[in-house]
A and B are shown apart, each in its own frame.
Chain A
Amino acid sequence: MAITLKELLDNGAERLSLELVWGEGRLDRPIEEKAINRPGLALTGFFQYFAQRRLQVFGLAEFTYLKSLSTEDRAVRLREMFEKNVPAVIISRNRNPLPELRALAEEYGTPLFRTAMITSHFVNECTLLLEELTAPHDRIQGTMLEIMGIGVLLQGQAGIGKSETALSLIGRGYSLVADDVTEMVRTGGRVMAFAHELTRYHMEIRGVGIVHVPSLFGVSAIRRDAMLDMVVNLHPYKNDADEERTGLEPTEIEILGVKFPYFSLPVSSGRDMANIVEAVALNYKLKLLGHDAAKELDEKLIGNFLRKAAK
């Protein structure tokens, strides 16, 4: 989904030191391609390939080149660019727009911005911001924790004990990211989890009410965000039928198009869920370090049995 110039300005005013020079009424225009173009080549008159759906950034190179042109040539080339109906023109290093640039912007209804940043920094920051603003995101039911560097999303039906398990894990020194509802955003091939701004660092415990986690447990008990590594589901204990017993055949769950290992743990009286969730996370960490205990034991058993069978 394309974002509008207004969204860019709202989110980038500070971060990109972006200000609007002209075009208040035209900020609803979409940025169709979330990338940045430096129109230097186009200004030489080459329009066979021109990224006209992108933001056009005029830096030192463009300005110096424009100044080297005669007034007539400059007007012709700039007009040609505006005719392509570019979403907006941005001038870096807080330069004053050339009078003809401003006049053409008004004539074609193309918003004109200015930034204090130098061009290369602006291009980097602005690309990042556009990526962030357009990244796939979702709000997911579940409590997000960080256990020894492993991001764990705890899911399960209401009343199964997600918050209680989380509380217990916080007591063991791990950190809460979000209670019960977690915001997810995909950045590259990973998914970052964080809490909604309004409820951040709070959690609700049945029978107690809403508590402020850092006030009770200190700032080390919270994290603003964490990368998601795995999903742990708590479900009511039924019988043995569907449980994972060996750890050899992992299941996966897809969140925002990225696959994550999925563990469904049966809850029954006498099972300390915090302890088990901790073990799942640590076992996963061990796996990441190249040590798959279930697989190694299985290989050892098979090797042993093959030798014995051959005798």
Chain B
Amino acid sequence: MAEEKVILCEIEVLNKYGIHARPAALLVKTAGKFACDIFIGKKGEEVSAKSIMGLLTIEGYQGAKLRVRIVGRDAEEALAEITELFEKKFFEE
């Protein structure tokens, strides 16, 4: 049986408008491709990255630093794609 990986890291919101509906939907679509569980949020208030309504509550404004926790065997691949979304500012700018 494949080993369960756990990744913990911090990620900064770079796009001007933050994690509003469109970026949240992009995150959910990306997260949905992976088997692992992905959580994003602030300390003690993390939500599943597979829930739009959840992501809208984390207040991901520009400059906010979010905690990402990924659990599962495809955790690294998931992190790479999610990091890319943040870095590319969710293709908004």
Q: Is the CB of A245 within 8 A of B62?
A: no
Q: What does DSSP make chain B's interface, helix, strand, loop or mixed?
A: loop
Q: Is the CB of A245 within 8 A of B28?
A: yes
Q: How far is the CA of A304 from the CA of B60 in the complex (A)?
A: 10
Selecting from A41-49, A152-160, A295-303, the interface stretch reads A295-303
Closest CB in chain A relative to B67 CB, distance in Å: 17
Residues of chain A within 8 A (CB-CB) of B33 are 239-241
Q: Is the CB of B32 within 8 A of A309?
A: no
Query: Cβ of B59 < 8 Å from any Cβ of A?
Result: yes
Residues of chain B within 8 A (CB-CB) of A245 are 24-25, 28-29, 52
Could you list which residues of chain B lie within 8 angstroms of chain A, going by C-beta atoms? 16-22, 24-25, 28-29, 32-33, 50, 52, 56, 59-64
Chain A interface size, as a band, is 10 to 19
Q: Is the CB of A298 within 8 A of B18?
A: no
Our pick among B18, B22, B50, B56 for the contact of A309 (Cβ within 8 Å) is B18
Our pick among B20, B25, B52, B64 for the contact of A302 (Cβ within 8 Å) is B20
Residues of chain B within 8 A (CB-CB) of A308 are 18, 59, 61, 64
Q: Is the CB of A305 within 8 A of B60?
A: yes
Residues of chain A within 8 A (CB-CB) of B16 are 306, 309
Q: Is the CB of B22 within 8 A of A246?
A: yes
Q: Is the CB of A297 within 8 A of B18?
A: no
**Listed A/B pairs (25) with beta-carbon separation below 8 Å:** A241-B32, A241-B33, A243-B29, A245-B24, A246-B22, A246-B25, A248-B22, A248-B25, A249-B22, A298-B21, A298-B22, A301-B21, A302-B17, A302-B18, A302-B20, A304-B59, A305-B18, A305-B19, A305-B20, A305-B59, A305-B60, A306-B18, A308-B59, A309-B16, A309-B61
